[in-house]
Amino acid sequence: MRFYSTGGDSSFVGFKEALFRGLAPDGGLYMPESIPFLGKEFFITNHSYAELAVGMIEPFVSDDLTHEQLGEIAESAFDFRIPIVQLNESDFLLELFHGPTLAFKDFAARFMAHAMAALLKNDHCLTILVATSGDTGSAVANGFLGLNNIKVVILYPSNRVSAVQEKQLTTIGKNITALEVNGSFDDCQRMVKEAFRDEELTNQKTLSSANSINIGRLLPQSVYFAWAWNKANGPKVFSVPCGNFGNLTGGLLAKKMGLPIETFIAATNANDVFPEYLKSGMVINNPAKKTISNAMDVSIPSNLERIQNLYNNDLVSITTDIKSWAFSDDETKNTIKKLNNNSNYIADPHTAVGILGLEKFREESGSIEKGVVLSTAHPGKFSDVVDPIIEEKIDLPNSLKMALKKEKDVIPIRNNYSDLKEFLWES
Structure confidence at residue 161 (pLDDT): 87
pLDDT above 80 (res 121) = no
Structure confidence at residue 122 (pLDDT): 66
Structure confidence at residue 147 (pLDDT): 82
Sign of the four-CA dihedral 283, 284, 286, 290: negative
Question: What's the mean pLDDT when you consider all of the chain?
Answer: 92
Structure confidence at residue 210 (pLDDT): 78
The pLDDT confidence band at residue 213, using thresholds 50, 70 and 90, is confident
pLDDT above 70 (res 312) = yes
Share of the chain above pLDDT 70, in %: 99
Residues 6+ apart with CB under 8 A from 278: 315, 318, 319, 322, 323, 324
Sign of the four-CA dihedral 112, 141, 153, 148: negative
Measured distance CA(4)–CA(273) in Å, rounded: 26
Residues 6+ apart with CB under 8 A from 176: 141, 144, 145, 151, 152, 154
pLDDT above 70 (res 80) = yes
The pLDDT confidence band at residue 142, using thresholds 50, 70 and 90, is confident
Structure confidence at residue 123 (pLDDT): 59
Q: Which parts of 198-354 are beta strand (E)?
A: 207-209, 237-241, 263-268, 322-326
Report the SS3 class of residue 217: helix
Residues 6+ apart with CB under 8 A from 380: 102, 164, 394, 395, 396, 397, 400
Note the pTM of the prediction, 2 decimals: 0.89
Measured distance CA(263)–CA(238) in Å, rounded: 7
Phi/psi-derived region of residue 374, left when phi > 0, alpha when psi is between -120 and 50, beta in every other case: beta
What architecture is the 82-103+217-395 domain classified under in CATH?
Answer: 3-Layer(aba) Sandwich (3.40)
Structure confidence at residue 335 (pLDDT): 98
What's the average model confidence in pLDDT over 14-42? 92
Structure confidence at residue 8 (pLDDT): 85
Strand order across the 176-182 sheet: 207-209, 126-131, 150-157, 176-182, 411-414
What's the average model confidence in pLDDT over 292-310? 92
What's the average model confidence in pLDDT over 97-118? 91
Structure confidence at residue 426 (pLDDT): 86
pLDDT above 90 (res 299) = no
pLDDT above 80 (res 212) = no
- Tally the C-alpha atoms within 13 A of residue 426's C-alpha that lie toward its C-beta: 6
Q: Are 49 and 82 in contact (CB under 8 A)?
A: yes
Burial class (CB in 10 A: 0-12, 13-18, 19+), 42: middle
Q: Are 293 and 351 in contact (CB under 8 A)?
A: no
Instruction: Show contacts of 22-28: CB within 8 Å, 24+ apart.
Output: 22/129, 22/196, 22/207, 22/208, 22/209, 22/210, 22/211, 22/213, 22/214, 23/193, 23/196, 23/209, 23/213, 27/193, 27/196, 27/197, 28/305
**Lowest mean pLDDT across 138-152, 261-275, 329-343:** 138-152
β-bridge partners, 127: 151, 207
Nearest residue to 169 via CA among 206, 142, 201: 142
